[in-house]
Amino acid sequence: MAESLVALRDRRDQAIARLADAYATDLFDVEELDRRLDLAHSAKTVAELDALVADLAAPTTALVPAAASRALDDPSRSQAKTLRVIMSSVERRGPWVVPQQLAMRVFWGSAELDFREASLGPGVTTIDVRVTMASLEIILPPQLAIDVDVSSFMGNVEERHRAPAEVDPSRPILRVTGSVLMGNLEVYTRLPGESQFGAWRRERRERKQLRRARRAAERHALPPGT
């Protein structure tokens, strides 16, 4: 009997998350990550996916989570901070300490907040945005849960983040509030070390696999002789 498509999808998601965690903790380099991710996306059975992570430690609560999703009581962390971008551009990438409450004010400019290697505090971290005739990009790792509650007037709010299936209470949560006026807010997922083009390739593969899985499911659902 063919393996359940749902079971295969869930195991693939689990394998990808474990590979991302292993890369974030320096168990292998980006080339090895890319190789294993290609194999994970092309795997046809659960056994193939299990073999990809067989040399990694089994996930337990004792394991150190990826830095991008780790909650730390950092004494240098600000409780509240305002970041203003006016007719210019700002990027926050790599390791950086995120205040518990961050106010983003972007006017006639662009800003990028990359949380893949960021240090977040325990509980909910709030990002209050005011994007006016400007652009704000938020990049998240797969393990980080997010809640977006942003209004838009003559603007665009696009969320393409793959949230974790089950929110881990031991990991931080990002909450984005505010408004977009004649501007653009994008929230999307990238794996550690993954470029914009690499993310586009991965998402394209995933869409193709999803279409094939749906067609296969529809064929199995048809009565014999149809």
**How does pLDDT run across 142-182, given as a tens digit for each residue?**
888 899 999 999 999 998 876 655 566 667 899 999 999 99
How much is the average pLDDT of 8-37? 77
Match 């991710």 to its residue by tokens.
37
Query: Does any domain span residue 46?
Result: yes
184 and 199 inside one domain: no
115 and 23 inside one domain: no
Query: Does any domain span residue 83?
Result: yes
How much is the average pLDDT of 16-37? 75
pLDDT at 62: 31
For 212, the token pair is 């094939």
142 and 53 inside one domain: no
Number of domains the chain is built from = 2
Yes or no: say if 80 and 101 are a contact pair by the CB < 8 Å rule: yes
Phi, psi of 187 (to 5 degrees): -125, 120
Query: Does any domain span residue 10?
Result: yes
Q: What is the pTM of this model?
A: 0.62
pLDDT at 66: 40
Gap between the Cα atoms of 149 and 18, Å rounded: 29
118 and 77 inside one domain: yes
Q: Per-residue pLDDT tens for 53-91?
A: 888 865 443 333 344 445 566 677 888 999 999 999 999
Q: Per-residue pLDDT tens for 116-133?
A: 989 998 889 999 999 999
pLDDT at 111: 97
175 and 79 inside one domain: yes
Measured CA distances, 220 to 9, 46, 100, 216 (Å): 17, 20, 50, 6
* CA count, 13 A, side-chain hemisphere, 28: 17
pLDDT at 84: 94
Measured CA distances, 219 to 46, 154, 212, 222, 223 (Å): 21, 43, 11, 5, 9
Query: Does any domain span residue 199?
Result: yes
180 and 82 inside one domain: yes
Q: How many angstroms from the chain centroid is the CA of residue 38?
A: 18
Q: Nearest to residue 172, comparing CAs of 99, 65, 71, 21?
A: 71
Q: What is the mean pLDDT of the chain?
A: 80
Q: Which domain holds residue 95?
A: 68-189
119 and 17 inside one domain: no
Task: State yes or no: pLDDT of 93 exceeds 80.
Answer: yes
pLDDT at 63: 31
161 and 128 inside one domain: yes
* CA count, 13 A, side-chain hemisphere, 158: 12
How much is the average pLDDT of 30-42? 82
pLDDT at 142: 82
49 and 154 inside one domain: no
pLDDT at 2: 45
126 and 45 inside one domain: no
pLDDT at 72: 62
Query: Does any domain span residue 226?
Result: no
Residues 212-219: contacts with CB under 8 Å, at least 24 apart: 213/5, 213/9, 216/5, 217/5
pLDDT at 61: 33
Query: Does any domain span residue 147?
Result: yes
pLDDT at 225: 55
pLDDT at 89: 94
47 and 75 inside one domain: no
24 and 80 inside one domain: no
Helix (H) or strand (E) holding 144: none
Task: State yes or no: pLDDT of 3 exceeds 60.
Answer: no
pLDDT band at 108 (very low <50, low <70, confident <90, very high): very high
Query: Does any domain span residue 205?
Result: yes
pLDDT at 222: 55
